[in-house]
Amino acid sequence: MSFTLDPHLERECFTLGRLPLCHVLLMDNAAIPWLILVPETDVYELCDLEPAMHQRLFQEVHLLSRFTRRYFPTDKLNVAAIGNIVRQMHLHVISRRRDDYCWPGPVWGTTAPSRYDGAQVETLRLALASELAGAGFE
Amino acid sequence: MSFTLDPHLERECFTLGRLPLCHVLLMDNAAIPWLILVPETDVYELCDLEPAMHQRLFQEVHLLSRFTRRYFPTDKLNVAAIGNIVRQMHLHVISRRRDDYCWPGPVWGTTAPSRYDGAQVETLRLALASELAGAGFE
């Protein structure tokens, strides 16, 4: 299939790179580390994925979960497939802290209190490239 | 391990029954069909589960996702592991509709506009028992 990233994700996120199945995005909310994985599929619901793709998707979710937890102070990871606004399948991997601005509420639907600058995004991209090169991140 | 349901879940939900791995709860929000699966584990994060338990957990998530979609009008399923308030691992399987009271926002953190009566809960329990008996629901 030819892949086009949903325009809403394109507008709200930076693209950090990709893993074998998923494009890896960073939500432009500098207060909360918030990665988004977008698998190349035209399926909308997790329960409709072929088992092999589901398994691969969660391998990549777990890689990024563990990376996020190592890289950012994290009290709880939030992992979710919601898709009420953006129908294209995407998985959220979010690092929450007890002192973040919307704890313990959900971050979805809140307004980012600050945005990233290009240097911060590039630093994160390099960290991912360094730590996940063996997993095929590029 | 001996299993005790988190008191917050105990208070907010009805217990519908269980599958081989998970207890199946119903959030007491009659406006939005909202199931919660609680696996018997003392692990908090999905990425820390043993692969076999992770696979079994999502088999049960998918069983309930498909049941929910058959049983309730559904525009989008929301599947999430959040855990900011309740640390005990639990997975949300939620049926969202474009005309529900908080679409397209997240339902977490909102106030339920109506509650279930016992007969509604019993009807849902019987439907689950009928449809998922082959999957070990009891």
Query: pLDDT-based confidence at A2, cuts 50/70/90?
Result: confident
The CATH code of the domain that includes B53 is 3.30.428.10
In a domain, A2, yes or no: no
pLDDT tens column, A89-115: 999 999 999 999 999 999 999 999 999
With 80 as the cut, is the pLDDT of residue A21 above it? yes
In a domain, A64, yes or no: yes
Count of the separate structural domains present in chain B: 1
In a domain, B110, yes or no: yes
Q: In chain B, which residues have pLDDT < 70?
A: 1
Own/partner long-range contacts of A82-86 (Cβ < 8 Å, ≥24 apart): A82/A108, A82/B76, A82/B78, A82/B80, A82/B106, A83/A44, A83/B76, A83/B78, A84/B76, A84/B78, A84/B96, A84/B103, A84/B104, A84/B105, A84/B106, A85/A8, A85/B104, A86/A6, A86/A8, A86/A9
In a domain, B1, yes or no: no
In a domain, B135, yes or no: no
Buried b (16+ CB within 10 A) or exposed e, A59-83: bbbbbbbbbbbeeeebbbbbbbbbb
Q: How many CB pairs under 8 A join A and B?
A: 90
Please give the pLDDT value at position A1: 66
Helix axes A118-131, A51-71, angle to 10 degrees: 120
In a domain, A138, yes or no: no
Residue with tokens 């606004």: A85
% chain A with pLDDT above 90: 98
Which of B41, B46, B43, B8 is closest to B23 using CA atoms? B41
- Does A84 sit within 8 Å of B96, measured CB to CB? yes
**Mutation to test the A interface, candidates B58, B63, B77, B82, most A Cβ within 10 Å:** B82
In a domain, B112, yes or no: yes
In a domain, B136, yes or no: no
Q: Give me the domain span that covers residue A20.
A: 7-129
